[in-house]
Amino acid sequence: MSTPTEPGQGSQAVADRAGPGHEGSRAAADRTEPGHEVSLPCRDRAEPGLSDVIGERRHLINLAYRLLGSLAEAEDAVQETYARWYAMSPQRQEAIESPGAWLTTVATRVCLDLLGSARVRRERYVGEWIPEPLPDRTEWVGGPSGGGAEQADPADRVTLDESVNMAFLVVLEAMTPAERVAFILHDVFRYPFAEIAEIVGRTPAACRQLATSARRRVRAAQEPADTAGQAGLVRRFKEAWEARDIEALVGLLDPGATMIADGGGRVGAALHPVEGGERIAAYLIHIATKAPGLTLLERTVNGRPGLVAQHRGVTATVAAFGLTGGRVTRIWAIRNPEKLRQWTADRRD
């Protein structure tokens, strides 16, 4: 897994007086991502306009998804953030010098609370828990409304870069909530530690230590980001699976490869990781035999080449891959229907 790209290109702090219950924070004034426009600049002004406040939504969704690993939970966190904003009187809103900074502070704290409770929920989760997969922006289907592609709100689309590839998100899951927040805010969104300290209620030194610890975890799991090579390997994997060629699959899988499936207790899925290239290949051939008519499609999954399996025109599985040295080392197969709502359009191409 490669080190995440840096959505922020410089940071000019702006003061934020958040008001009672939401201590002030100093957030970056410019966190745009070249070519992607993840967030809008915060503006120094006395009277925040509606468009300025709503304009922060995409930045908040991007931040919350990286913090939570779930688009559904990210949407809930952002909704709660805006609910708190609109619960304030107009006078309190006008007293906040940077609404964008205030919204970021509150959203981060909501996510921090959710991360704590998520650990408890995931301990009771049926089988393995895998972050929610995201399609390429051209394949985005639903959005919060669950409608068709034409109804999807561009403001809710998560920008796909190295900070959302599946391997990276899985590493984040192993971090403590505090590590995850400090690392994402600093290394991905380029917030200074002084600002992070005000947001999370810790000292800058403590936040720096948390981010350093998280960074060590990320570096230990680094993989090369050869997208072109990955696409070719995933294509050969797809062809071998379609042909039910177990020898070819074994040849494409690292002997120590691991496959993890997430069904959430809602659909059939391996409850424990499948270890070893030969066992994985045998398992995949078994699945293909049990589900005649399975269609495999090459798709971008969280910014990297992956596969979508459709059965009778309905998306049943989205698979992300970890690839090293020209072989597949990790497969994350998401089957929980609740995590596939962005993939449910009938695409038989």
Q: Which of 12-16, 127-131, 303-307 has the lowest mean pLDDT?
A: 12-16
Who has greater pLDDT, 200 or 22?
200
Distance CA 55, CA 276 (A): 47
For residue 217, what is the enclosing H or E element?
helix 204-220
Q: Which of 288-292, 295-299, 305-309 has the lowest mean pLDDT?
A: 288-292
Global pTM value: 0.80
Find how far residue 31's CA is from the centre of its chain: 18
Distance CA 314, CA 296 (A): 11
Q: How much is the pLDDT for 51?
A: 76
Q: Tens digit of pLDDT for each residue in 34-75?
A: 333 333 333 333 344 677 799 999 999 999 999 999 999 999
Whether 15 shows a pLDDT value over 60: the answer reads: no
Instruction: Decide the pairing of beta strands 327-334 and 314-324.
Output: antiparallel
Q: Tens digit of pLDDT for each residue in 122-157?
A: 888 899 999 999 998 776 655 443 444 344 455 567
Q: How much is the pLDDT for 145?
A: 38
Distance CA 147, CA 170 (A): 28
Which of 135, 113, 132, 103 minimizes the C-alpha distance to 39?
103
Q: Tens digit of pLDDT for each residue in 254-294?
A: 999 999 999 999 898 999 999 999 999 999 999 888 888 88
Percent of the residues in the chain that have a pLDDT greater than 90, as a whole number: 61
- The whole-number average pLDDT for the span 22-38 is 34
- The whole-number average pLDDT for the span 191-214 is 96
How far apart, in Å, are the Cα atoms of 230 and each of 4, 129, 235, 299?
18, 24, 8, 12
Exposure string of 327-345, with b = 16+ CB inside 10 Å and e = fewer, is: bbbbbbbbbbbebbbbbee
- Report residue 338 as tokens: 């609740």
